[in-house]
């Protein structure tokens, strides 16, 4: 009985840890990723601060999400 209980807890822990790690790496990738600047279309848009993205090419600053920015793509 005790063994079964332990396994359940361990299983849940692994699941939770995996999700957390996955999410963390995704956020980290987003923070490091360069994005397309809506102004000059160069891939130099970087996260300058939380919710603020700045283009290293033309200096364009955009307010986006804390971890991601979704430039309006209307073609």
Sheet harboring 52-55: ordered strands across?
Answer: 45-49, 52-55, 61-63
Residues 40, 8: Cα–Cα separation, whole Å: 53
For Zn ion, which residue of 9, 20, 31, 40 counts as binding (CB under 5 A)?
A: 40
Give yes or no for residue 69 binding Zn ion (CB under 5 A).
no
Quote the CA–CA distance of 72 and 38 in Å, as a whole number: 8
CB of 38 to Zn ion, least distance (A): 8
| Smallest distance, Zn ion to C-beta of residue 42, A | 5
Q: In the bound complex, what is the minimum distance in angstroms from residue 69's beta carbon to Zn ion?
A: 13
């Amino acid at each position: 009985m005790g063994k079964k209980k332990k396994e359940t807890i361990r299983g849940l822990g692994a699941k939770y840890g995996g999700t957390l790690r996955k999410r963390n790496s995704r956020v980290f990738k987003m923070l490091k990723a360069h994005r397309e600047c809506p102004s000059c279309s160069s891939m130099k848009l970087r996260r300058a601060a939380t919710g603020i993205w700045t283009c290293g090419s033309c200096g364009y600053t955009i307010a986006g999400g804390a971890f991601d920015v979704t430039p309006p793509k209307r073609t």
